[in-house]
Structures are given as C-alpha cells and as structure tokens.
Structure 1
Amino acid sequence: MGARMKILKYQKLDLEENRIELYYNKIDQETENIIKIIDSYNKTLTGRNENETTWVHLSDIYYCEIIDRKCYAYLKESIWQVDISLQMLLDQFGSSGFVRISKSMVVNIHKIERLKTDLNMRVNIILDNGETVILNRTYRSQFYQYLEKTRREMK
C-alpha cells in the first residue's frame, strides 16, 4: 500500500461558501471512497410531513423505516416521509453508508456511535443522537460484512 493521502484544511474567512477540492494523480480505493462520501453530502431526497416539503440530505439521515408501506427518514430532530423503497435506497445509495438491519429498516453507518449486545444476544445499534435501533439476527452477518468492508476501504 502506498503513502496515505495528505489532508490539508484551511479556514478562509473571506469565502462566500465552503468548498472542497480534491487533487489526485489516479483514483485508488482511498480516493474513490472519499469521493463517495463527499458526493453523498450533495444527494437529496424529497421529504414531506404534514404541512411542508423539503430536501432531505442523505448525510443527515440516521435511518429509514417502512411503516404501513410508507418510507420514513429519521433525522436528528425530525422525521420525513420520502418517496423511495428501502431496496431502491440501498441500490442507489448503499455506497454512501446505508445498510439493511431488518426487513423494514436501513441504517446510516456514519451515524452509529456504538454497538451493544444484550443478554439475549440481540445487537443494539446506538446512534449518535441517542436513539437505539435493533439489528435483526437475519441481517447480522450482512451488517458485519458491510462494516468490515467499509473499514478496510477506509484504511
């Protein structure tokens, strides 16, 4: 493996808006992963609640859940109905950190604070907003494989 990528950060108070520029001589796995992460910040879904519609950024989603055949995106402090199936979300944005944890739920791994196994060997996923979701046993192997793959790609 070659040298690690150098990351330089500068604060410029006179900028009109924040920006990121990425320089590379070839796209290796590390560069590709960083591009995917950066691109995920620009991807949005249309979200609706009782009386408003907004853009929901993928990077703000903690998890999505299907309830009564409708998909809901859970953000830090709000919930939005989004017009996407869980499978379509995984197909289009799985590389952005979304992985299935039950038949009706996907979680954003970038929002996971820690995992905790209880006495019944159930795995509780504690998110960085304090919420807990449960990893279904059926999806446990797939979940850990995704985490391991992501960890390897980030090295």
Structure 2
Amino acid sequence: MKVQLFVSKDLEEPYAEIYTDNLTDNIQKAMVLLENDESDDDVDEGNSILAVKKGSDIVLLDFEDIFMIKVEDKQTKVFSQNAEYSIKKPLYQIEESLDSDFVRISKSTIVNLRKIKRVAPSLRGMMFIELKNGLKDNISRKYLTDFKKALDL
C-alpha cells in the first residue's frame, strides 16, 4: 500500500483520506485507529472495538456487545445478543486485543464475564456456562483455574 503524509500548519484539525478498491481488515483497523486518535492519552478507548463481518458488511462491535468468541469448523465466530459474525483472525490474536472482561474457557472459546447468566458443574470435572443470550458451552478443566481467578473465586 502506498502511503503519503503531508504536514501543514494551516490545518485546524488533522484529517486522513484513504483511497482503495477493496476494504481490507488492515484498512478497517487504520480507520478505527485514526478515528479514535485522541490527545488525552486514553489508550483503552481505541482498543474497545472489534471489526467483524456479517456477510459482505464490516461491523464494528464494542467489546461490551460481545458475548462469546468461538472457533467452529475452522472459522472464528463472534456472538452478540442476537447476531453471529465472522472474523478472520485466529483466537489467540483476538484474545490479545481484548480487555479483562474476557476470559478463555476452552481451547476454542472466549467469553465476556459480564454476559454470564450462570455457571454449574458438568461432566468429567468441567463446568457448564450459560450466557444471558442463551448461548451455552463447557469450561474445560485446563482453563477452570484461570476462569475462577478472573471471577475472584
């Protein structure tokens, strides 16, 4: 991608223009980063959005709207209250960008702690989790300690 930077002292406010024939994930990230560029050093604000796809549309989801992120059939899916989205990033990369409200509960699933409805014992030492939107999954033994620590249990 070709990038040009022009510095001018005559501008009241900085602005950016992007010309492209294809809206890629990297361009979308750049747009989010540029739009959230604030001088008050509020680092968390710019990192509280996840760019996902619904069909051919790109949707920017606030972290607070995300219930679960799960890999199913080699595709990473993001679940909100009433919708399902897709994202091309692997789960570990998404996990790195999330805040402390999110915890991994299995090799293939991350949940938003604020969206948990209930947790109950399940089979073979695992725990069962139900989210407020009705989604259900198991917390594997491997991740149970981290899950309890995230809940201060």
TM class by shorter chain equals 0.5 to 0.7
**TM-score, normalising length: structure 1:** 0.62
Which structure carries more relative contact order (alpha carbon 8 Å, separation 6+)?
A: 1
Counterpart residue identity of residue 145, structure 1: K
2:95 equivalent to 1:90: yes
CA distance in 1, matches of 2:96, 2:52: 19
How many residues are aligned here?
111
Give 2:110's match in structure 1, choosing from 106, 112, 125: 106
5 Å-filtered alignment, 1:2-151, equals 39=45, 43-95=48-100, 97-118=101-122, 120-148=124-152
- Gaps of at least 5 residues in structure 2 are 1-42
Query: Any conservation in 2 of the 1:45–1:82 contact (CA below 8 Å)?
Result: no
Query: Any conservation in 2 of the 1:72–1:79 contact (CA below 8 Å)?
Result: yes
CA distance in 2, matches of 1:127, 1:86: 19
Relative to structure 1, the CA distance from residue 92 to residue 53 in structure 2 (aligned partners, 3 Å threshold; closer, same or farther) is closer
CA distance in 2, matches of 1:70, 1:52: 17
Displacement of 1:78 after TM fit?
0.5
Q: Which has the larger radius of gyration?
A: 2
* 1:85-120 residue CA offsets vs partner (Å, 9 max, x unmatched): 22222222142x111111111111010112111365
Following superposition, which runs of at least 4 residues in structure 1 exceed 2 angstroms of deviation?
A: 49-53, 67-70, 118-122
CA RMSD between the two structures: 2.4
Relative to structure 1, the CA distance from residue 69 to residue 94 in structure 2 (aligned partners, 3 Å threshold; closer, same or farther) is farther
Query: Any conservation in 2 of the 1:46–1:83 contact (CA below 8 Å)?
Result: no
* 1:48-81 residue CA offsets vs partner (Å, 9 max, x unmatched): 1224221122111111011243311011111001
